[in-house]
Structure 1
């Protein structure tokens, strides 16, 4: 029996466990389906792709995507302490101030969120109007600084785009190097930042290898959870609240398994309907991206990191190519809408990156491309089985809305334009399976064949529909959702930093504290 039971030890769950257990008078139980985060591959930044399709990955795929020539899209999600923050690209981006204002939810404007970003942050650049120091999360400059990533930024400037030294400051648009969630050249996950420093608290219990099957209720009040720990069924009671932080795909799945979701889906599966909630699992959004890949003969890509000398360098002083987050540089631009906020984000990596990271690189290369930042297409997460170990059914519906494909085409044109600039020319002479021409039809064909996720799903338990503005599930008591699924609209950028800030704010709401 605990005061709070938190389902999922990802970016949100680790923050909540750390903040709620600051009060020694309350007890907190954090539950994670996967193992601890002690595998070496987790902490070596450049190695994150080695976790794909392993025991550390939920290993999801989308349904056949009609606008992608019927392809399924690989959707990795972290399954260990730290969740996807233990296997992501470590880019520290907050999104655009307009994103939060456009949510139109009381308490969630950009100005109201900024203190939570700053509170969590320990930025090596120091304290400023936009950045904090002394928080649990290390935010650092990258230590790899691959020359291809520098050439990418120089190419953007040569093409007339502004350079930007801080995407989280006054202005988001422009090109530059990303800051990363690393400490001394090693990955800084939500687990290493928030959870590990407080594991000795007597009021905090962390259970790994424990898959939650459903939330339990008495009348309409959440009272705990039932799940299996190493095949043993266990019930855990929550005296105050159950908090679902299982992620964009698993949180709606868990709500449905608990009887909260579309009655037309739950009834035929034999799941008793507690609340007929048609919006659970709807509103799925993500950033689709189609990368350009340019193989070359310059021995400077991340392929060199296999040399034992670079492992010694990493172990001794936390520097060298093994510290690379792969996508070291990139930028934001408006290519289609002409609005004040960017509509594409580019990520550039000094490696051959194909098939969503599943194909092994076969030569030195640079890979980069634009993702659609504010997609209008909406997908869904649902279930096809009452078995809690069955994978959810995920349909992203990429490019279902024509406007998204139009933005993607212009983002691809931008990428091709950068390849022609003098700073990148040494690395972009021999494109791998490029578009047949620069005609719009050929660019669309290329995008359909090559689009993958940018790993930024959101929106499936959104505020304003499934949740109220304090993240409480409508129709029941003592149950909240806290993760990227609560976003009504996807932010313009990588989602890890926003999820941490959302959890910081949620912790204050749960504790009844005044806003930061």
Structure 2
């Protein structure tokens, strides 16, 4: 068998997109390696009113972080786009000003991507009870401090100067855009692999390790043997790609958005809705996430603990490390904890969420005396930035100082985003893919 021209490692969001783009050239042999299930996901597990990540879920990879925290990621064709909440927001326009591409190119990338991913905002008549009260509360308030003195601007006061104002989030209420169709997630597998006349060769690969000499990668070792190739494209997600990079590059710095949860017991059962339909972005860079119900309603086997409102620090991420182990599965992960400044920012915003939940707008939803703030912040599952564009990797994803290796997933995001990273990861993968096929 001839050696492949390109091996793409990871068939999640970035990997499906890049492999599909590369395979359009019939003269190029593209091998897509994936450790999880190789079948395109069935609709039964992609309903937006569920998170199929419970114990024993087939399409879930669980890692244990050094601090004892459970890290859940999607695995198999489509990766986390099959099992996540379907949140598909761009960052704020200003978030991309330091990126190595022009804002025009970034905007064009999103405009090309969003129809392919069937991204659309939730409409008024789709909002659940908690989301409706959340928007009513914030729309009625004057600008005020939410997490820092710079404050919060009402939607009517936003300065929208971008060409496509409805698609760019900004300070204030942002209706979540979701990759969906007919009540189901529209995954990257649906968008880029399903039903294509041609595509990459797909093969199971576990126990992976990169092969080569110092400064050059020449192939990959799998449980099935050695695969030599012209080029390796890493798309295994920030943590998965980091596990493969760390033995080559040494310990890597990674980033995560910390999140504090404010919980309450509802007065009665809530309508089933997608998990996250509306968010508030504040000037200080806090994202307040109005979850639709108790997470136990979405994850089988999870004990009930109350309906949540998340308070995430998007501009002061935690700093963690990925250290090499014996192989990609033995890597040491530490995603860090928020510093004192970040804890204070989230505590200030969480206190105002408590005020919100005790307001008249929520009186019909919140059982009195049940509002409580978690003492220990959690994580947003947004790891990013181990080999950022512009400093550790080039505009085409090539890792500086290493020949034969590119990275195309969240590992290359070069700075904080004030929205979750999924849409930006795919936009980034699309921009890199354009450079590889041009």
The interval holding the TM-score normalised by the smaller chain is 0.7 to 0.9
Seen in structure 2, the aligned counterparts of structure 1 residues 249 and 138 have a Cα distance that, compared at 3 Å, is same
- The partner residue of 2:193 within 181, 192, 195 is 195
Would you say the 8 A contact 1:214–1:255 is kept in 2? no
Matches within 5 A, 1:89-488: 89-103=85-99, 106-107=100-101, 109-122=102-115, 136-142=116-122, 144-160=126-142, 162-163=154-155, 169=167, 172-198=170-196, 200-201=197-198, 204-207=200-203, 209-211=204-206, 213-217=208-212, 220-228=215-223, 233-239=224-230, 241-257=231-247, 260-262=248-250, 280-282=251-253, 284-302=254-272, 324-334=273-283, 337=284, 343-353=285-295, 360=302, 362=304, 366-383=307-324, 385-390=325-330, 392-399=331-338, 401-430=339-368, 432=370, 434-435=372-373, 446-448=374-376, 451-488=377-414
Q: Is the 8 A contact 1:255 1:261 kept in 2?
A: yes
**Alignment partner, residue 77 of structure 1:** 73
**Deviation at residue 115 of structure 1 after TM alignment:** 0.7
Asked if the contact 1:226/1:234 (under 8 Å) is kept, the reply is yes
Alpha carbons 1:148, 1:366 under 8 Å: kept? no
Secondary structure of 1:292's counterpart equals strand
Distance 1:53 1:461 in 2: 32
**Contact 1:286–1:490 (Cα < 8 Å) also in 2:** no
In the aligned structure 1, how far is the partner of 2:211 from the partner of 2:362? 57
Is the partner of 1:462 in helix, strand or coil?
Answer: coil
Once the 2 structures are TM-superposed, how far is the Cα of residue 350 of structure 1 from its aligned partner? 2.2
CA distance in 2, matches of 1:381, 1:73: 15
Q: How does 1:22-37 map to 2 (within 5 A)?
A: 22-35=24-37, 36-37=39-40
Q: TM-score normalized by structure 2?
A: 0.87
- Residue 60 of structure 2 aligns to a residue in which SS? coil
Are 1:48 and 2:20 an aligned pair? Answer: no
Deviation at 1:220, TM superposition (A): 4.1
TM-aligned CA distance change 1:176 to 1:476, over 3 Å: closer
- In 2, the alpha carbon distance for the partners of 1:375 and 1:48 equals 27
CA distance in 1, matches of 2:168, 2:35: 39
Alpha-carbon separation, structure 1, partners of 2:361 and 2:75: 40
Shift in alpha-carbon separation, 1:432–1:79, aligned structure 2, 3 A: farther
1:35-74 CA-to-partner distances (Å, cap 9, x unmatched) read 034355531112115446633222123322xxxxxxx333
Give the corresponding residue for 2:150. none
- Tell me the TM-score normalised to structure 1 length: 0.75
> What is the alpha-carbon distance in structure 2 between the residues aligned to residue 192 and residue 29 of structure 1?
19
* Greater alpha carbon shift after TM alignment, 160-169 vs 459-468: 160-169
Q: Specify whether residues 500 and 3 from structure 1 end up closer, same or farther in structure 2 by C-alpha distance, changes over 3 A only.
A: same
CA contact (8 A) 2:209 2:220 kept: yes
- Does structure 2 conserve the Cα–Cα contact (< 8 Å) formed by 1:366 and 1:427? no
CA distance in 2, matches of 1:478, 1:32: 20
Output the aligned Cα RMSD: 2.7
Conserved? CA contact 1:408–1:447, under 8 Å: no
Matched-pair contact (CA < 8 Å) for 1:142–1:185: no
Paired with 2:310 and 2:372, the residues of 1 have a C-alpha distance of 12
Confirm or deny: 8 A CA contact 1:381 1:395 kept in the other structure: yes
In structure 2, C-alpha distance between the alignment counterparts of 1:421 and 1:163, rounded to whole Å: 20
Contact 1:141 1:179 in 2 (8 A): yes
Query: How many Å apart are 1:416 and its aligned residue?
Result: 1.5
- The superposition leaves residues 160-191 of structure 1 with CA deviations (integer Å, 9 ceiling, x where unpaired) of 35248998635511114312100222111111
Cα deviation, residue 379, structure 1: 1.0
Separation in 2, partners of 1:247, 1:238 = 21
Deviation at 1:23, TM superposition (A): 1.9
- Alignment gaps of 5+ in structure 1: 65-71, 123-135, 263-279, 303-323, 338-342, 436-445
Alpha-carbon deviation of 1:345? 0.8
How big is the shift at 1:455? 1.6
- Describe the superposition over 1:238-274 as per-residue Cα deviations: whole angstroms up to 9, x where unpaired: 23x21001111111211234xx122xxxxxxxxxxxx
Report how many residues are paired: 417
In the alignment, the residues of structure 1 paired with residue 300 and residue 380 of structure 2 have an alpha-carbon distance, to the nearest angstrom, of: 14
**Structure 1 residues 219 and 455, CA gap change in structure 2 (3 angstroms):** closer
Deviations 1:443-493 (A, max 9, x none): xxx442xx2211211111222443233321122212101100111222111
